[in-house]
Amino acid sequence: DLHMYVRKAVVEMGELIVDMQKALIETAEKYSDVIMPGYTHLQRAQPVLFGHHMMAYFSMLERDFDRLLMVFKHADIMPLGAGALAGSTYGIDQTYTQKLLGFSRIYENSMDAVSDRDYVVEFLSFASLVMMHLSRLSEELILWSTNEFNFIELDDAHCTGSSIMPQKKNPDVCELVRGKTGRTYGHLLGLLTTLKGLPLTYNKDMQEDKEGIFDAIDTVHFALSINAAMVRGMKVNGAHMKAVLDDDFSNATDMADYLAKKGIPFREAHEIVGNAVHHCIEKGCVLLDLSVEDFKAISDHFDADILDAISIEACVAGRNNYSGTAPECVERQRNNGKAVIAGEEKQIAQWKAIVESVQA
């Protein structure tokens, strides 16, 4: 029963992942021209396309879907016929039962059949990883929706008001997803701890596998479905994102790259740009506020094209290597993502055919 239950759960999880991936591609396309700050150490680092950021989560979910392949493979083994541990003396036809229940294989060893909970652990591992990915997205949505960031506005359907402060719009759904992630981790660690000291074959401890996987399935179902709706419903404040970039030093790396391409060792270019940034901070301006003459005063390696080279649009467009953030690269990511989804939907159809082959 648990093997069959997990198989059905894999189909459901696969469908939810695909819908979430579709939501990410739709959002990346909707805001394809929006440029936002990219961060390291939660400090503004370099400008990226908003769609590039969204497609990063697509890739995470693609790996999550791949993990389901192994879960289904290991759940799709029939344990019937193993008896309590040693098999049966009744001459049963396990192959016939296998066909009726739609299993691809039969356990080779009856003791392994009784003892095996690997497929449950693997499902909980999948659940923990997908929840970790959704929790990271939730954290970013929480930050971006604050007044301090003001990058996005979440739909009212996924927020609540404060119990005491009338002006508040709290991202409660994001916080719930983030909180339930630890709960999912607990189910994985709990079952691993339960199994680690068990001798072969059956021990009553093993009934503790049920509560965790039932709850994990419900939790991941909630998290994936609500995140897909949340991503589709949010509004992106692209104008404010661009204004933020126009007023900071996210283009400093491109300024150093400009010098490095002229043959200056990068360590020297780094120092030159660092001094320029320090100069701007003292003057209360940013690099784009400097004139060509200002740049030439900093270093005679700067030419008239420096302002074009460090424009925010140029910083994004210049990163056109295969995995970069340039518009053509992100468009390729979206198109490849659609092909990935087509393959995933084909796999789900194959899983469904197996699950639905069970005969009453």
The one-character DSSP state at 47 is: E
Q: Residue 338 to residues 22, 23, 55: CA-CA distances in angstroms?
A: 8, 11, 11
Let me know the angle formed at the C-alpha of 75 by 69 and 77, rounded to the nearest 5 degrees. 115
Distance CA 65, CA 146 (A): 31
What are the two backbone dihedrals, phi and then psi, of residue 3, each rounded to the nearest 5 degrees? -60, -45
Which residues are annotated as catalytic?
A: 41, 162
Structure tokens given for 283: 């003057």
Q: Which residue has the tokens 């509004």?
A: 235
Distance CA 38, CA 275 (A): 23
Cβ atoms of residues 196 and 206 within 8 Å: no
Cβ atoms of residues 124 and 216 within 8 Å: yes
